[in-house]
Amino acid sequence: MSVRIGILGYGNLGRGVECAIKHNPDMELVAVFTRRNPKDVTILTETAKVYSVNDAEKMKDQIDVLIICGGSATDLPIQTPKYAQWFNVIDSFDTHKRIPEHFAAVDKSASENGHVGIISVGWDPGMFSLNRMYANAILPGGCDYTFWGKGVSQGHSDAIRRIEGVKDARQYTIPVEAALESVRNGENPQLSTREKHTRECFVVAQEGADLARIEREIKTMPNYFDEYDTTVHFISEEELKKNHSGIPHGGFVIRTGKTGWNDENSHVIEYSLKLDSNPEFTSSVLVAYARAAYRMNQEGQKGCKTVFDVAPAYLSAMSGEELRKHLL
Ligand SMILES: NC(=O)C1=CN([C@@H]2O[C@H](COP(=O)(O)OP(=O)(O)OC[C@H]3O[C@@H](n4cnc5c(N)ncnc54)[C@H](OP(=O)(O)O)[C@@H]3O)[C@@H](O)[C@H]2O)C=CC1
Ligand SMILES: N[C@@H](C[C@H]1CC(C(=O)O)=NO1)C(=O)O
C-alpha cells in the first residue's frame, strides 16, 4: 500500500516534492494545500488536486504524511506545530539557532496528538548534520568545517522575499577561497563566520519601494545576514529571470582528527554535495524522511524527531533483506 503524501505550500520545495514522489513508486500524492486561491496554483500530478490550507484538517484521514514546504523565516514556526495536530509532518526548518524552540513546539503538538514530526530535514540542516555527527563521534578530538556554495540559498532568498517592498530575490552564498585553501591544506584554522563566506543578493523591488531600507533590513537580519559581509544589487524582474533563474548549490563538511598514542596519525573525513537543483535535492531528502515518519508512527512512535533520531533503514524503500543483500 502506498504512503499517501500531502504537500503544504507550493513553492520551489513544494514543486520539488511533487517531482520526487514520481521517483518513489511506494508513494502517492493525494493533495497540495496552498494559502493562495487554489485556482491560481497549477500542479503537474493529474491524480491529485489543489486545496486551500483551510481544508487540510478535513483530509487528515486521507493523508499519511504532510510535507510542509513553507519558508523557515516566517512560515514553518507556525505551520509545522499547527499541522502536527492532525498529521505526521516533515519540514526543512533551517534557522539553526531557533531549532531548539521549534523542536519543543512541534514535540508538544505531535506528542499530544500521537503523530511523528521530523524537522530540519534537507542537507543543511539534514545530511550535513548527520555527517558532522558521524565524524564527531568517530574522531572526538578534531576540527569541523562546513562550506557552502557558490550557490543559491533558498532559506536566505526566502528571508529576503519576506521583506516589505521586495518582489523577488536570489541570494548566493560564496565561500572565501583563502579559508577553503587553509582548511584543505590541513592548517586547522580558527575561522569566524565572516571569514568563511560572503553573501551576494539580487533583489527585485516593488515600484516605489525604499531601496535603502530594504538593503539595511537585509544586511542587519539576525540569523541570516548580520554576521556576514553582504552585497545587495537591485535589478529588474527581467534580469532576474534571465540571469538568476537556476537554484544550484552545494558544499561540503570536513572533519580533521588524529589517532594514535601520541596523535601521530591524521585523518580527514569529507562529505560533499554538488547540486544542479537545491530544491529538487532537498525535496528528495524530505520524501525519504516522509517514508520514515510513516513507518515510525505505524510502530507507535510519536513526538518530534530530527535526522539524528531516525535509523537509516527507515529511509529506504528496500526491505531489510534487500538492504543487507545490496548495500551492506
Ligand atoms: N534544510 C535544508 O537543507 C534546506 C531548507 N530549505 C528551506 O525551505 C524553505 C522553502 O524554500 P522555497 O521552497 O525555496 O521557498 P518559496 O519562497 O519558493 O516558497 C515558500 C512558500 O511561499 C509561497 N509561495 C511560493 N511561490 C509563491 C508565489 N509565486 N506567490 C505567492 N506565494 C508563493 C508558498 O506557500 P503557499 O502555496 O501557501 O502560498 C510556499 O510554500 C526555505 O525557507 C528554507 O528554509 C531549503 C533548502 C534546503
Ligand atoms: N538551508 C540552506 C541549505 C544550505 C545552504 C546554506 C547557505 O547557502 O547559507 N546553508 O545551508 C538553503 O536554504 O539552501
HSE-CB of 69 using CA atoms within 13 angstroms:
31
The residues, any chain, with a CB within 8 Å of residue 79's CB and separated by 6 or more, are 8, 9, 68, 70, 91
- Residues linked to residue 303 through DSSP beta bridges, in sequence order: 116
Instruction: Give me the tens of pLDDT residue by residue for the chain, a chain 328 residues long.
Output: 899 999 999 999 999 999 999 999 999 999 999 999 999 999 999 999 999 999 999 999 999 999 999 999 999 999 999 999 999 999 999 999 999 999 999 999 999 999 999 999 999 999 999 999 999 999 999 899 999 999 999 999 999 999 999 999 999 999 999 999 999 888 889 999 999 999 999 999 999 999 999 999 999 999 999 999 999 999 999 999 999 999 999 999 999 999 999 999 999 999 999 999 999 999 999 999 999 999 999 999 999 999 999 999 999 999 999 999 999 9
Ligand 1 site, residue 122, Cβ cutoff 6 A: yes
For residue 52, what are the β-bridge partners?
A: 34
- Whether residue 107 has its Cβ less than 6 Å from ligand 1: no
Residue nearest to atom 18 of ligand 1 (CA): 11
Residues with Cβ within 8 Å of 54's Cβ and at least 6 positions away in sequence, in order, are: none
pLDDT (0 to 100) of residue 1: 83
205: left (phi over 0), alpha (psi -120 to 50) or beta: beta
Upper half-sphere CA count for residue 281 (Cβ side, 13 Å): 19
Pocket test for ligand 1, best of 12, 43, 91, 132 (most atoms within 8 A of CB): 12
182, HSE (Cβ side, Cα atoms, 13 Å): 15
pLDDT of residue 309: 98
* Residue 116 · residue 296 · CB < 8 Å: yes
pLDDT for 184 equals: 85
Q: For a pocket test of ligand 2, which of 128, 221, 249, 274 has the largest count of ligand atoms closer than 8 A to its C-beta?
A: 249
Pocket of ligand 2 (CB under 6 A): 94, 122-124, 148-149, 153-156, 173, 249, 278
Grid cell at residue 267: 585523518
Among the listed residues 99, 84, 171, the one whose alpha carbon sits nearest the alpha carbon of residue 129: 99
Nearest Cα residue to 239 out of 174, 172, 170, 163? 170
Backbone torsion region of residue 188, taken as left when φ is above 0, otherwise alpha when ψ lies between -120 and 50, otherwise beta? left
Check pocket membership of 201 for ligand 1, CB cut-off 6 A. no
What pLDDT is attached to residue 278? Answer: 98
Residue minimizing CA distance to atom 7 of ligand 2: 153
Looking at the CA of residue 153, tell me the nearest atom of ligand 1: 47
| Alpha helix stretches (DSSP H) within the chain | 12-22, 76-83, 99-113, 127-138, 154-161, 177-184, 193-196, 211-219, 237-243, 278-298, 320-326
From ligand 1's centre to the CA of 192, what distance in Å?
Answer: 29
**Of residues 315, 314, 316, 308, the one with CA closest to residue 130:** 308
Ligand at minimal distance from the CA of 201 is 2
CB of 9 shorter than 6 A to ligand 1: yes
Q: Is 289 close to ligand 1, i.e. is its CB under 6 Å away?
A: no
What whole-number distance in Å separates Cα of residue 136 and Cα of residue 142? 7
Q: What cell was used for 3?
A: 504512503
- Span from the CA of 19 to the centroid of ligand 2 (angstroms): 21
Q: Whose CA is nearest to atom 5 of ligand 2?
A: 153
pLDDT at 186: 81
Residue 53 · residue 92 · CB < 8 Å: no
User: Would the CB of 36 count as within 6 Å of ligand 1?
Assistant: yes
Gap from CA of 278 to ligand 1 centroid (Å): 12
pTM over 0.95: yes
C-alpha to C-alpha distance for 78 and 102, rounded to whole angstroms? 9
ipTM field? 0.98
